[in-house]
Amino acid sequence: MLKTLYDYFWWERLWLPVNLTWADLEDRDGRVYAKASDLYITLPLALLFLIIRHYFEIYVATPLAALLNVKEKTRLRASPNPTLENFYCTNGKQPKQAEVELLSRQSGLSSRQVERWFRRRRNQDRPSLLKKFREASWRFTFYLIAFLAGMAVIVDKPWFYDMKEVWKGYPIQTTIPSQYWYYMIELSFYWSLLFSIASDVKRKDFKEQVIHHVATIILISFSWFVNYIRAGTLIMALHDSSDYLLESAKMFNYAGWKNTCNNIFIVFAIVFIITRLVILPFWILHCTVVYPLELYPAFFGYYFFNSMMGVLQVLHIFWAYLILRMAHKFLTGKLVEDERSDREETESSEGEENVTGGGMKNHHLANGHPILNNNHRKND
């Protein structure tokens, strides 16, 4: 049974164009081709990334946070209360007005004290500013290095300048060591992100992030063993081109460098829109959808790859909407904050926030300019 499933999964007609077999991609005469077995190394490399990240956050990111004067506000802890704690853990973190009144009677506290207890208890569960800074520092470092390395891998290749070169000779295209390591390191990093996602800072787009990581892992893996490597290197470098800008903006945000954060965010928004909504769909996707059909009839692998690319493109449109909404607020002089962030509530919000989840209105300005997601105690 398992042998039958294995043979069907690796059936050439699924993954390769007509009249081609896996035998055509076997190493011979010094020519090396990508193989699915190459990807096994990415799992131990992902664990190595997690170890490197642990020590990076301790010995690099933490001292950097101190150097940039990243300060954490002391949070008031909720006093021990078994009744409220049981409701918090089993029923939810945002009790409705009727539930607040019931809890008030059960705990012997006033409604205002119950609201304050839940506010403080929610703040206890939110990640610290230092944790956010260290996570952004790690991702910034990787994305920057990956982008520079990716450009070094592809900038001298003919398909970087002529998209039709991506499919020249496909799939009989040999791999070189720089492509191998670029793929293995990128895939290992995304595995590490997936492994650590439960402990990383959670944002409102948590589900979209999971979908993105899974789709990326599938795309990188698939493009490797069916030899879509030329297209894959272009796609990975394109994605890394804006990610490090976002992470650096977060770092300066947590450090309180208002103008620097705002300026980097604008640059990030421009790069993101150009790369994800212009270059990716109109150059890269056009390359993967149109040009292969000039060489071979469509096959399952062709549809599968472009379907996964479609999933990523939908996520890009979703994130672009959030970015443009933030940019609109910035340009119109309103407070701009990370649309994905989970606000930390302060004691001053007691009279302004209702218990069903209403937020506060903020109009902080720095030197007459709106602060981009710069209130450490409220935003991510």
pLDDT in tens, 62-101: 999 999 988 777 777 888 888 888 888 888 888 888 888 8
Same domain, residue pair 190 and 46: yes
**Assigned domain for 209 exists:** yes
Neighbouring residues of 91: CB distance < 8 A, sequence distance ≥ 6: 99
**Assigned domain for 23 exists:** no
pLDDT, tens digit, 9 for 90 and up, residues 128-157: 889 999 999 999 999 999 999 999 999 999
Above 90 in pLDDT, residue 376? no
pLDDT at 370: 38
Same domain, residue pair 212 and 102: no
Q: Tell me how far apart the alpha carbons of residues 182 and 134 are, in angstroms, rounded to a whole number.
A: 24
**Domain limit, last residue, from 317, 332, 347:** 332
Same domain, residue pair 150 and 276: yes
Same domain, residue pair 148 and 225: yes
pLDDT at 51: 97
Same domain, residue pair 191 and 209: yes
**Assigned domain for 22 exists:** no
Above 70 in pLDDT, residue 306? yes
Same domain, residue pair 157 and 244: yes
Q: Tell me how far apart the alpha carbons of residues 169 and 175 are, in angstroms, rounded to a whole number.
A: 13
pLDDT at 236: 95
pLDDT, tens digit, 9 for 90 and up, residues 240-264: 999 999 999 999 999 988 889 889 9
Token pair listed for 232: 């894959």
**Assigned domain for 11 exists:** no
Same domain, residue pair 38 and 108: no
| Burial environment of residue 103 by CB neighbours within 10 A (0 to 12, 13 to 18, 19 or more) | buried
Alpha helices in 27-95 (DSSP H): 42-56, 62-67, 82-90
Same domain, residue pair 176 and 211: yes
Question: For a pLDDT cut of 90, what percent of the chain falls above it?
Answer: 46
**Domain limit, last residue, from 125, 140, 158:** 125
**pLDDT tier for residue 366 given thresholds of 50, 70 and 90:** very low
**Domain limit, last residue, from 125, 159, 194:** 125
Domain span holding position 117? 82-125
**Assigned domain for 345 exists:** no
pLDDT at 371: 37
Same domain, residue pair 42 and 89: no
Same domain, residue pair 285 and 319: yes
pLDDT at 351: 38
- Per-residue DSSP letters for 302-344? HHHHHHHHHHHHHHHHHHHHHHHHHHHHHHTTS-B--TT--PP
Question: For a pLDDT cut of 70, what percent of the chain falls above it?
Answer: 86
Across the chain, mean pLDDT equals: 83
Average pLDDT over residues 207-235: 91
Residue 202: other Cβ atoms inside 10 A: 16
Contact between 77 and 120 (Cβ < 8 Å): yes
pLDDT, tens digit, 9 for 90 and up, residues 184-208: 999 999 999 999 988 888 777 778 8
Average pLDDT over residues 222-229: 91
Contact between 162 and 195 (Cβ < 8 Å): no
Same domain, residue pair 232 and 199: yes
Number of structural domains in the chain: 2
**Assigned domain for 262 exists:** yes
Same domain, residue pair 155 and 51: yes
**Assigned domain for 192 exists:** yes
